[in-house]
Structure 1
Amino acid sequence: MKEGNQRERGERFEYESEQDDQLVRLAKEGDRSAFGELVRRHRDEMFGYARSITKERFAAEDVVQDALLRAFTRLGSLADTSRFAPWIQRIVRNQAYNRISRGPSVKESSFSELADRSQAGREAADWGNLDYILGRVAARYNQPDQTGSDPAQQLVRREIFETMTTILLCLSKKERQVFESFLFEQLSPAEIGRMFRLSTANVYQILSRSRKKLAQEHIRVVVDQYIRSRKEMGVMKVKVLRKPEVLKSPATWTTAAAAICGLLEYTDKPLKLSMVMGLTGFAFRINIVRETVGIAGPTMFDFGPVISRSLEAVGYRASYVSDQSRPLTADANFQLMDEEEKTAEARLKRQLSDLMPRALDFVHHSVDSGDPVMVWDLFFPEFALIYGYDDENRQFIAGDCSTVYGNDTVPYDHLSRGTLGMLFVLSVQSSVRMDNRIMLRNTIETALRHYREQEHYAEQCMNGLAGYDVWIDALQGGRVEPISNSYNVFLISDARRYAAQFFEEVGGGALGGFIGSESVAEMARVAASLYSCMREPFDRLCSMFPFLVDISVRGGDPNEPAAAEDAVRLLRSIKELEHQAVQVLDSMYAIMQEAPTAYT
């Protein structure tokens, strides 16, 4: 018999002569062996009772496992130590009936199987659900050891248990009492209120607060364990890629396109920023928030699908981790936030995303593979690039893709704790074979679709040509937020400058030749001229509504009647030029649909 089993057997014999009440007292003092003896004595009875209710072996086993977890963590509430048997029986009964109320049961996978799937990136478990976490902890910790004294299995069991106990310790005494009464003993808020002399409303408030704290603590613990596992595997290191050229001199207000340009620097087909802006369609975007022309308009789109399609347009597939399940807040304005809200301390008070552990692993894997990672809201609500990491100091090496913050190291736990509380990381995964004619055709198709079709956030925004009408309506109604208006002016002006440059390069043969290319090149030069003509009215709008100046004058006064009238006139002239450009794109697209691929 191995030494570990001898010790376990010796402890069992030591407690066999003790009565239940003495074992309960010892267990309350933290003696796990005493609790183990209680489990050994009562497990068969618990299982039989659970099976008589659930009528299923697997369901009964899960009930017992969950009941044991609840008993262990709630043992301190058992005032009469001689009544352990009826007390644990009540917990089993509550768990069994709760199991039945959830519907037909199925055999669940073991915790180790679920962990393996999670590490493989599959959505096998709801780790954001606290009930699920605790239930699985109970299932794995209390399973009979089928592996003898396997050190690996023992380590897994210990780490699982330590995770559970660490999570619960984040609660105050009162929070823990209320939470455990609700979750472990299945008491109603009204019953808990009577027990602790609290109103039902107070119980709900404590439960809500406790669940949020526990969820955050769970994420923090998982991240700590992730870093510890890297250390134990000997892969703790500092890994820094070459700094992306696009970060050395940010040249566009469209940080999504700048980040894509940075990603492509590490591939075998890097592209100039003007080609990225054009081919991805960002040179033609306009997305205006109704009523206020909000600052979030340009970034109110589904990041994952849109940016993935943008990369596909230039011949690459992407992978991403995102918790963007709702539109960005239309009135969220970083420029108007109090300075204390922008500090590192303020970030640390915001909630971590449930996907934080997965995102951290994603960043490590991508950088280790030699690819930077595109990330949202790492410095402030724009896109940035992570191109390195330092495990020992838990820092990313990253750069902001705008002209505001430059480059810096950022703590791991700042990820997902930005102003808008959203996580998004993306990297290039593989290349797609695509000829230049198809790339250009797809670009024109994307631009036309954006100009004419309303995208996802229809209620808050209007995109394309119709966006100008929403913008004009807001100016005429005197409802415009000045800094947001100014930001939109500068960003769209910059985008159209790149649209002109893109079509100039296409007209000059930047994408090579194919049958019909002479006609397409001629139309591209016409489109370039139309986009170039937008520069003068946009320059006047930029002068009227300055952005990169002192906050006291930033944004100008778009709601002043004379200024609004001038702005409306200029926007109408821009819209007319854009309408003509769309007609040219229609003609280009028709030719490219007919022309077969035949490169010279």
Structure 2
Amino acid sequence: MDGDLNEDERLRTMAETFDREQYELVEKARNGDAASFGELVRLHRSRMLGWASRVVRDRATAEDIVQDALVQTLRKIGRLEQPDKFLPWLRTLVRNQALMSLRSGWSRNETPDRFEEGDSPTWSSPAGWHEAVDDPQAEAIGRLVAEDLRMLLSRLSPRDRAIAESHLLGGLSVREVAAQRNMTDGAVYTAVSRTRKKLEEARYEDEIERYAAARRISGRPAARLCERARPYALSGAYDTMAAMMTMTAAAAGRRNVSLTDVMGATGHAFRIQVAPDLGVSGPYAYDWADSLRLGWRGLGYDASVFGGAERRLRRPDELVTAMDALLASLERGVPAVAWNVSNTEFGLIEGFDDGKRAWIVTDTSAAGKTLPYAKLGRLHDDAEWFAAVPTGRLSIDRAAHWIELFERTARHMRGDDHTGTRTPVSYAIAGTAAYRLWIDAFDRQAAADALGAAYNAAFTYEARKHAATYLLAMAADGFLADVCPAALPAVAHAQKLYAKVAALWGNVSGLFPLPFGADPSAPGPADRAARLLERACAAEAEAVGALQEAAWLLARRRTDGRNGFSYNHFQKNQKRL
């Protein structure tokens, strides 16, 4: 309610300052001027998205609501009597559309292949324009959109095109189309759902065709392969993001960067997160974009990042924007790290071929495979969208990076991500809570997923080995001794503890070996694993406390006590672990 009151107050303020230019835009839009309507959309679309998001709490659904609300605006703006009341009127349309979406229970992106009697698909285009032929605005803009839609529909089979034209352009209900064509409602719904998917593909393909044509005209290279990328150099690593970043760094000229360097810089060496079912998805349940940025910054690079964990590619322009950065990097000989280029792991985009409209990709399952441009981030319906490239070089403040890394590690073990929220990915369970989940499952002999147990154990064992090696190198590096010799004992203590944790996880991994694993619910192995993890959890909590101490000492030395850190703050957070 407070949010609505604040928004009402903002609307009143905006209405009072509704300038003459916007007033004239509304007037022209009411009289059928397409350019004015487009300018109003540009000015207020983000505000409409905010209004919708407050109701539905989901970005993708909010986008759909805004699209539907724009259709309503298009049809009804001619009836708006007071142009200076445009914003409150627009907000009402958006809120009503959002409330209708909540009542319907599902969004257009959840359209099933078949529908029950009485359902109706919520994704449809501006059906109903045929009812508004007297509305000059609808006639002006609707004609243009309808022509674009007809061009897309021309790619369909005659039967699907006829159904889509009746429903989308003719405005007939599904039941009316079914009666007209002597079909069942379910068959019409299936055809409409199939059409939606085909039109979605056509949108991406058309956008990419225009983009590729522009590249050709501008004289950009038509194909390139990053010869310096060595896709199988680290093929045995379980942490595929870190492996791909290491190969990318080598291709960018940093051949002295090891997998341990990347595991440490990203914080992956110190992470543990699980899915509630303790399955194989747990190790990747973190904020990919944030982790990668931290890692590249620690290695001395800025980065361009697109998408992230639990993000979906929604619009063709998002892909084309990313392509600019990805292709520019590939032209320099530097590959891109991307998710799900062939399987559900991180891989490399190591080349491109404009003639084939395809990326050349490699991951743990395939080498030198082609992936259509339009399928990046869209390899299957539920694909998550993520791609990233290092860009400019940065000067490295190693002490500042270590402080951030150690503090993040402590927050992670408490179950807090870098923003202080509980989990960076909606289903992730992190830190000591992840340990407790494993221990409880083994005690109850309830860890039924043999592959999940084996994969998580191998993944964490690998990470902790890198943690111990990373800290050993840090303690041996003369830089830390020069910057803050007082922090050396804390780092050395943490290193010994992480070596102990790695050995304990190695024992757990030995109980449930890959590739097939063993029964994690068997009484003997389950009890043994629980006791090993209790010891690992205690040792890791102590290690993280030592890292926090090192971070505090480094920060105090850097700023001479004026940095906001305090020993009481350090002790308080150490107790929480």
TM-score relative to the length of structure 2: 0.68
Answer whether contact 2:339 2:386 (CA < 8 A) is retained: yes
Taking structure 1 as reference, are residues 266 and 583 closer, same or farther at Cα in structure 2, changes over 3 Å only? same
Q: Greater CA deviation, 192-201 or 537-546? A: 192-201
CA–CA distance in structure 2, aligned partners of residues 140 and 253 of structure 1: 53
Answer whether contact 1:130 1:214 (CA < 8 A) is retained: no
CA–CA distance in structure 2, aligned partners of residues 510 and 267 of structure 1: 26
User: Does 1:256 pair with 2:241?
Assistant: yes
1:205 Cα deviation after fit: 3.9
3-state SS of the aligned residue for 1:407?
coil
CA–CA distance in structure 2, aligned partners of residues 189 and 472 of structure 1: 54
Pick from 430, 435, 444 the counterpart of residue 463 of structure 1: 430
2:306 aligned residue = 321
Which whole-Å deviations, capped at 9, do the CAs of 1:360-409 have from their partners, x for residues lacking one? 44421221244321111112111112232232344433332xxx436323
3-state SS of the aligned residue for 2:303?
strand
Which whole-Å deviations, capped at 9, do the CAs of 1:562-600 have from their partners, x for residues lacking one? 2211111111121121111112112112211201279xx
CA–CA distance in structure 2, aligned partners of residues 371 and 562 of structure 1: 49
Taking structure 1 as reference, are residues 58 and 446 closer, same or farther at Cα in structure 2, changes over 3 Å only? same
Alignment map for 1:565-584 (pairs within 5 Å): 565-584=527-546
Alignment map for 1:432-581 (pairs within 5 Å): 432-455=394-417, 456=423, 460-475=427-442, 476-509=444-477, 511-516=479-484, 518-548=485-515, 554-581=516-543
Alignment map for 1:49-128 (pairs within 5 Å): 56-61=27-32, 99-100=75-76
Which whole-Å deviations, capped at 9, do the CAs of 1:56-89 have from their partners, x for residues lacking one? 54355468999xxxxxxxxxxxxxxxxxxxxxxx
Q: CA RMSD, aligned part only?
A: 4.0
Pick from 253, 258, 261 the counterpart of residue 272 of structure 1: 258
1:303 Cα deviation after fit: 2.1
1:431 aligned residue = 393
Answer whether contact 1:289 1:297 (CA < 8 A) is retained: yes
CA–CA distance in structure 1, aligned partners of residues 497 and 424 of structure 2: 29
Answer whether contact 1:353 1:423 (CA < 8 A) is retained: no
Which whole-Å deviations, capped at 9, do the CAs of 1:547-572 have from their partners, x for residues lacking one? 14xxxxx0111111222111111111
Answer whether contact 2:252 2:333 (CA < 8 A) is retained: no
Task: State the aligned residue count.
Answer: 449
CA–CA distance in structure 2, aligned partners of residues 300 and 410 of structure 1: 27
CA–CA distance in structure 2, aligned partners of residues 96 and 477 of structure 1: 56
1:388 aligned residue = 351
Question: If you compute each CA radius of gyration, which structure gives the higher value, 1 or 2?
Answer: 1
One-letter amino acid of the counterpart of residue 348, structure 2: L
3-state SS of the aligned residue for 2:368?
strand
1:537 Cα deviation after fit: 2.3
1:595 aligned residue = 557
1:288 aligned residue = 274
CA–CA distance in structure 2, aligned partners of residues 233 and 164 of structure 1: 29
Alignment map for 1:152-301 (pairs within 5 Å): 164-200=149-185, 202-245=187-230, 247-250=232-235, 252-267=237-252, 271-290=257-276, 292-301=277-286
Pick from 288, 309, 313 the counterpart of residue 303 of structure 1: 288
One-letter amino acid of the counterpart of residue 505, structure 1: A
One-letter amino acid of the counterpart of residue 287, structure 1: Q
Answer whether contact 1:546 1:555 (CA < 8 A) is retained: yes
One-letter amino acid of the counterpart of residue 514, structure 2: F
CA–CA distance in structure 2, aligned partners of residues 522 and 251 of structure 1: 33
For CA contacts below 8 A with separation 6 or more, give which structure has more relative contact order. Answer: 1
Which whole-Å deviations, capped at 9, do the CAs of 1:400-421 have from their partners, x for residues lacking one? 2xxx436323232552344652
Answer whether contact 2:301 2:392 (CA < 8 A) is retained: yes
Answer whether contact 1:167 1:221 (CA < 8 A) is retained: no
One-letter amino acid of the counterpart of residue 487, structure 1: Y
Pick from 351, 361, 365 the counterpart of residue 398 of structure 1: 361
User: Unmatched 5+ residue regions in structure 2?
Assistant: 1-24, 38-70, 87-108, 110-122, 130-136, 418-422, 561-577
CA–CA distance in structure 2, aligned partners of residues 597 and 262 of structure 1: 36
Answer whether contact 1:236 1:392 (CA < 8 A) is retained: no
3-state SS of the aligned residue for 1:379?
coil
3-state SS of the aligned residue for 1:317?
strand
CA–CA distance in structure 1, aligned partners of residues 290 and 266 of structure 2: 12
1:365 aligned residue = 328
One-letter amino acid of the counterpart of residue 276, structure 1: V
CA–CA distance in structure 2, aligned partners of residues 458 and 416 of structure 1: 18
One-letter amino acid of the counterpart of residue 201, structure 2: Q
Taking structure 1 as reference, are residues 418 and 470 closer, same or farther at Cα in structure 2, changes over 3 Å only? farther
CA–CA distance in structure 2, aligned partners of residues 103 and 589 of structure 1: 63
1:216 Cα deviation after fit: 1.6
Answer whether contact 2:231 2:367 (CA < 8 A) is retained: no
3-state SS of the aligned residue for 1:596?
helix
CA–CA distance in structure 1, aligned partners of residues 73 and 537 of structure 2: 65
Taking structure 1 as reference, are residues 241 and 512 closer, same or farther at Cα in structure 2, changes over 3 Å only? farther
Taking structure 1 as reference, are residues 415 and 249 closer, same or farther at Cα in structure 2, changes over 3 Å only? same
CA–CA distance in structure 2, aligned partners of residues 171 and 289 of structure 1: 41
Taking structure 1 as reference, are residues 286 and 60 closer, same or farther at Cα in structure 2, changes over 3 Å only? same
1:148 aligned residue = none
CA–CA distance in structure 1, aligned partners of residues 195 and 315 of structure 2: 15
One-letter amino acid of the counterpart of residue 426, structure 1: A
Which whole-Å deviations, capped at 9, do the CAs of 1:271-321 have from their partners, x for residues lacking one? 33212211221101111112x311011111232233223323444322122
TM-score relative to the length of structure 1: 0.65
CA–CA distance in structure 2, aligned partners of residues 351 and 594 of structure 1: 46
3-state SS of the aligned residue for 1:537?
helix
One-letter amino acid of the counterpart of residue 533, structure 1: K
CA–CA distance in structure 1, aligned partners of residues 147 and 337 of structure 2: 34
CA–CA distance in structure 1, aligned partners of residues 445 and 455 of structure 2: 19
CA–CA distance in structure 1, aligned partners of residues 234 and 224 of structure 2: 23
Which whole-Å deviations, capped at 9, do the CAs of 1:144-165 have from their partners, x for residues lacking one? xxxxxxxxxxxxxxxx999755
1:496 Cα deviation after fit: 0.2
2:384 aligned residue = 422
2:342 aligned residue = 379
CA–CA distance in structure 2, aligned partners of residues 526 and 323 of structure 1: 35
User: Does 1:407 pair with 2:367?
Assistant: yes
1:353 Cα deviation after fit: 7.5
CA–CA distance in structure 2, aligned partners of residues 173 and 510 of structure 1: 73
Q: Greater CA deviation, 294-303 or 203-212? A: 203-212
3-state SS of the aligned residue for 1:274?
helix
